[in-house]
Structure formats: structure tokens, C-alpha cells
Structure 1
Amino acid sequence: MKKQIAVLLGLALSAASLAYANTSLTVYTALEADQVDAYKAAFQKLNPDIDIRFVRDSTGVITAKLLSEKDHPQADAVWGLAATSLMILKQQGMLQGYTPKGADKLSRPFVDSSKPAQWTGMDVWAATICFNTVEAAKKHLPVPQTWADLTQPVYKGQIVMPHPASSGTGYLDVSAWLQLMGQKQGWAYMDKLHNNIAQYVHSGSKPCSMAASGEYPIGISFEYRGAELKSQGAPIALIFPKEGLGWDLEATAIVKGTKNLAAAQKLADFSASLPAMQLYQKSYAVLAMPGVAQPNPNLPRDYAKRLIKNDFGWAAQNRDAILQEWSRRYESKAAPKS
């Protein structure tokens, strides 16, 4: 009898182990496409019993998808989405509180203030102008030094930027301009800039890629894509406007109601760990964990000091109203959605 019980117990434990070994974690992300595989491999090397199934798109698309699934969530976790988007999900009661192991080693502004935390920051991405020096020379375009410079008539039809409803980069631009200039002057600035915009595209990195290929001489984008393309030999200069740079945090969170909570917590733990930060530093110059980031030869050494004083709470709370007003004014130049 004891032998039979032992056999049955062994079978039960084996079945439980097999079930956990086959845990599939659905993770929504706005990470760049060329980052996803490396991030997945690094996590699964330490957690071979958990398989990540990424659902990837631009920030605005992923945010809208999560909100549309509020009553029937499909994601277990979010890894690499704007903190301003996660703040909206937090307001909607959609996130599972969990403070990752090692979160005390992260800079305080990178961790949600709730206890337990509902999201945990990873890294900073910020606005950058990608300027094709070859194409600009052909068209006799001066090098812009400020955001204000981009409204000069000489740049008419020469600029592409991300659509803020689709792209987190686009939204951090619009939010930053409104914070830097105030509501009245911010919208007046964007009215003038709109005159020079050729197209609003549905990706934060695409404007820089378009500038690098010469499709347009100027792309408002973000520093990771610009630095990467420049290091690959693209004829672009990276310009960091003197007024200051809009920025946001990439962050991780667990979706409330997940049936794979233990696995999602392991993902959150990894995202806040040193191995993950060492992975992030390959792309970003400002990280949640101090002392890990390395200088990037394509970025200024005082890069972190150029970031504006960003009110994330305001940006999250006013996102819908800002996007509605932006669309009313500028949607006519939006690129078709593929």
C-alpha cells in the first residue's frame, strides 16, 4: 500500500512539474522588434520552465489593446511599455501589485510608489532629431539646433514624426512641448510645425529610419534608434534640441487576473535584476539601476541632464484629451495604417 501511495505521489509531482515546465506566459510589449528575441532568450536562459509568447506593437496600439481587454484580459504581463501607459492601466485597476525582488536597488522614481508597486521601470528613452547630412546638403537645409528651428519655412515638407496616438515617442514629444511651452504656446508651436510635416507615421523608430535612408532629411525619433543607425554608418547627425528632451520610462507590470501569477512574478523579478539592466544598457543611456549604464559615443555625456522635468502623472491623466485635440488639428497628415 505504501508503495502504491509513493508511486501515485510521484506521478502527481511529475505531472505538476511538467505543467509548470510548460507554462506559457503571454507578454504584451512595445519593445523594438530587434530587442525582443534577445530579451526573451536572456529570461528563458534563467527560467527554462517558462515560455514567453510576445505580442508586440507600438505603444499606443498595445495600450489600446490592453484597455479594450479590461474585462477579459488576455495578457499575463507587460514588459517594455511606457510608464505613462501603465499609469492609465493602474487608474483602471488593471494591474496586479507586486514589488520585484531587488527593487530596492533601483532609483526611486523608476518604481511605482504604491505598496506593493504596480509597475517597475527599466530604462529611459527620449526624443532625438535624426538629420541626414547628405540629403540636407543637397537641399541646402541648415542644421536645426532647437525645436523652434523646425518651424522655419525652409523645412516645409522635410520632416516626419511619430503619430502620438500610435507611438509612445510621438506622445512624449507632444506632452513635452505642452509642458515646456504651456498649453497655448505648445499648440501654437505644433500648428507651425504641422506646416512642415510631411507625414505622421505609426512608429517611434521609423522617422529615424526614413531619415537614415534619405527618404526624408529630418526624422523626429528617439535616441536608441538614432545611435544604432549612426553606428551602422548611416549619414545622420543626432540633434538634441536645446530646450530639453521629452522622455518616458519603459516599465514592467503584471496584469490583474493572470492565471500564471508565479511565472509573471519571475518575469518582474528578472526585469528589475542586474542581468536585465546589463541587457538594457546595450540600448539605453539611462537605466533604473544606477551605475550600470555605459557611455554611448553617439550620445552627449550630459544626456541625462538634457531630459525635461517630466510630470508623468499629468501626461497620463491628460492623454486622452491631448490625443483628441491633436487628432482634430493634425490627423490629415497621418500615414495610412499598415
Structure 2
Amino acid sequence: MTSAKSKAMLTGVFATLLTSTALAGEVNVICSAEQPWCDLMANAFEAENPDTKVLMVRKSTGETLAQIRAEAGNPKVDVWWGGTGDPHLIAAEEDLTQPSGVDTSKLLGWAQNMHDISDGKTVGIYAGALGVAYNVDVLEDKGITPPACWKDLTDPSFAGEIQVANPNSSGTAYTELATFVQLFGEDEAYRLLAEIGKNVNSYTKSGSAPSKAAARGETGISIGFMHGMVKLASDGFPLKIVAPCEGTGYEVGAVSIIKGAKNPEEAKKWVEFALRADIQSRAPETGSFQVPSNSNAEVAEESPELSLIKLIDYDFATYGASETRKRLLARWDKEVKPASN
């Protein structure tokens, strides 16, 4: 009798465990923003959805694109959140992502444009302009005149003083490459990038690393997104930010659901969460000063004013195409990378 009763109790316990396991959801996210913002998003989502566990890793856009290509047909990721839009568009073109079916009516035009040109497979979550930062102390100590334009970076006085990311792994650096091609024409762009390469001391994997190095005085000049530079300057580092005189490109950070996601309902819920005004308004809590895509979101005072920057008419459809990216990177590997010291 006792044995039968014990078995019945155990059966009930196992049934409860199985039921609770079945009810508990999860969403697997790759985050291509800065780690503090990744953490805030994961924690805030779990707080609103206590039955869903966020399994998140941080990777650059180039690394993420490579991973979801390798896992096509059997994805381990549900959502790709953050990072420059060009690789998100490439993933959409290669049928690695799927339409999210979310409402974009409250988003700004540039965010809706990402949604439209990808047939709903990706959508813009923030924007940020490309620029140059320099460490005031480093340049003053060495008697170097600060740059004001992209072409200034070819000056021999900057030898060994410039740091920028590698466009093969960094969406930031790919945006730089595509910006140069659109500003100067392809042949002249590669000539200039090779000349600048003679002054480059390191091509980093991460797009945010160069400005952090410039802030610490490990390099004199960095190329990256202005919102990251603003964060470092607001932390007290001696950085000055330059919007290059010729004009500059910009990113539209994006979010995409991976095709064949094993947790599609949670994935859509994540995208809807990421597009909300109240959630986007929390980005400055982590020192992230991009311009949010929701028209009702609050824009931090520290965020660069895009209307005051000479922005090019960045062609996301062309430079977010797989073949374009492949060709530009191959030429960069051949002509630009070997020029660096």
C-alpha cells in the first residue's frame, strides 16, 4: 500500500515537472550591440516574460552572419538583434531569415525602409553615423594636427596612429568601406583606403574596439560610429569627435528572426519588444546613444543629431547585397589590408 502510494506521488511529481518544462519557453538570441545593452535587453525581456528564458551570446555582425550561414537548415539561433543593417540584409537575401510579421507603423522612415527592402525579414531598431575620433592628449603630445576630413587620414603624420576594424568581421568597418565607395567611387576609394592603411596600426575584430583604444591613449585616432565615441567622451576620456567634411555614411541597426527558428512565437515576441518606444528609450541607461527607430521613443541628449551631420544617401539595397559585399571584401583583402604596418 505504501509502495503504491509512493509510486503515485512520484508519478505526480514527474508529471508536474514535465508540465512546467513544457510551459517554460526560451529564446536564443545573438546580440551584436554592446554587452551592457545586450544584458539590459535580456533582463528586461525575462522580467516581462518570466516563463521564457533568454539564452544570449554577443557576437559581431560578421561572426553572426558566418554562424547562421553554417547553421542554415538547422539553426541554433532564433533572433539576431543589433548590429549594422547590411549583414542583416544579406542574410535576408540569402533566405537565412524570415518575415517577422510585426507592425512597423510607429517606426521612422529609415527603419521601415529596411523592412520594405528585405520583404519584412529585417527591421530597423536604431541609427548611427560613422565618424572619426581622436585623443586630444596623444595628438597634442606628438604635435599632430587633428583630422577634419577622410582624406586627411592619408597624411604621413598619422603613421601608426590610426585604428579601425576589419570589415570581414565588423559591420562598422564594412559601413566605412561602403561609405568610401559611395563617396569617392570604387577605384579612388580603394586607393584612399590603402593610403590610410599605411597609417593603420591594427585592424580589430570588433567595430567598437578602436575608439576604446583611442580613449585609453593606445592609439591616436579611431574610425567608428559616433554614438560609441560620445559614450566614451561622456565618461571623461579626452576624445574629440569629427564628422568628416566630405560627408559620411550611417548604419541602421536591425533585428531579424532566423529562418526555421525553433522558438518562433518567442522570437516574434522579442522583435515586438525591441521595437517598443519604452524599451528603446532605455538604451542610454547602458551608454548606448544611437537614435531609436520608434517615433515615440526618447532620444538622449548625448545622441548625435543626424540632421546636423552631412550624411550620404546610403544605398542599403546595393551594399546589403551578398555579391556586392563579397566582391568589396575580396578587393579589400587584396589591396587594403596588405598596406597596413
Same fold (TM over 0.5): yes
Give 1:17 shift: 5.6
Of 118, 129, 132 in structure 2, the residue corresponding to residue 129 of structure 1 is: 132
Look up the match of 1:193.
196
Aligned positions, number: 323
Q: CA separation of 1:309/1:12 partners in 2, compared to 1, >3 Å: closer, same or farther?
A: farther
Aligned-pair RMSD on alpha carbons?
2.4
Rounded to whole Å, the distance in 1 between the matches of 2:141 and 2:232 is 21
Task: Give SS of 1:34's match.
Answer: helix
Corresponding residue number in structure 2 for 1:108: 109
Query: Which residue number corresponds to residue 5 of structure 1?
Result: none
Work out the CA distance in 2 between the residues paired with 1:293 and 1:308.
Answer: 25
1:178-217 residue pairs with structure 2 within 5 A?
Answer: 178-217=181-220
Q: CA deviation at 1:218?
A: 0.6
Structure 1 counterpart of 2:9: none
Equivalent runs, 1:250-265 vs 2, <5 Å: 250-265=253-268
Cα deviation for residue 252 of structure 1 reads 1.0
State whether residues 160 and 201 of structure 2, in contact with CA within 8 Å, keep that contact through their aligned partners in structure 1. Answer: yes
Are the equivalent residues in 1 in contact too, given 2:198–2:339 (CA < 8 A)? no
SS at match of 2:176: helix
Please show how residues 257-296 of structure 1 align to structure 2 within 5 Å: 257-280=260-283, 283-296=288-301
Give the 3-state SS of the residue equivalent to 2:169 in structure 1: coil
Give the aligned partner of residue 8 of structure 1: none
How many Å apart are 1:290 and its aligned residue? 2.0
CA contact (8 A) 1:98 1:116 kept: no
User: Contact 1:130–1:237 (CA<8 Å) still a contact in 2?
Assistant: yes
SS at match of 1:150: helix
SS of alignment partner, residue 247 of structure 2: coil
C-alpha spacing 1:295/1:269, structure 2 compared with 1 (3 Å): closer
State the Cα deviation string for residues 143-186 of structure 1 (Å, max 9, x = none). Answer: 11111111112111111111111111100001000001111211
Is this contact kept in 1: 2:165–2:173, CA < 8 A? yes
Structure 2, unaligned runs of 5 or more: 1-13
1:57 aligned to which of 59, 81, 100: 59
- TM-score, structure 1 length as denominator? 0.88
Structure 1 unaligned regions, length at least 5: 1-10
Is 1:314 the counterpart of 2:318? The answer is yes
The 5-angstrom pairing of residues 212-223 of structure 1 reads: 212-223=215-226
- 1:267-323 Cα offsets, whole Å, 9 max, x none, are 011011112221235523422112534253474x45564332110111122111101
Aligned ranges 1:12-161 → 2 under 5 Å: 16=19, 18-21=21-24, 23-101=25-103, 103-111=104-112, 112-113=115-116, 117-161=120-164
Q: Is the partner of 2:292 in helix, strand or coil? A: coil
Rounded to whole Å, the distance in 1 between the matches of 2:140 and 2:17 is 68
Q: Partners of 1:257 and 1:298 in 2: how far apart?
A: 36
Amino acid at match of 1:79: W
* Identity %, equivalent residues: 27
Distance in 1 of aligned mates of 2:258 and 2:16: 28
Quote the offset at 1:16 in angstroms: 5.0
Cα distance in 2 for partners of 1:75, 1:35 equals: 19
Calculate the TM-score normalised by the size of structure 2. Answer: 0.88
Residue type of the alignment partner of 1:314: T
Could you tell me how far apart the structure 2 residues matched to 1:141 and 1:297 are?
Answer: 28
1:26–1:152 CA distance, 2 compared to 1 (3 A): same
Q: Quickly say closer, same or farther: Cα 1:115–1:81, change in 2 above 3 A.
A: closer
Give, in whole Å, the separation in 2 of the partners of 1:304 and 1:15: 57
1:145 to 1:114, Cα distance in 2 relative to 1, 3 A: closer
Offset of 1:18 from its aligned partner? 4.3
> What is the rounded CA distance, in whole Å, between the counterparts of 2:74 and 2:308 in structure 1?
39
Quote the offset at 1:15 in angstroms: 5.3
Give, in whole Å, the separation in 2 of the partners of 1:157 and 1:84. 29
SS at 2:282's partner residue? helix
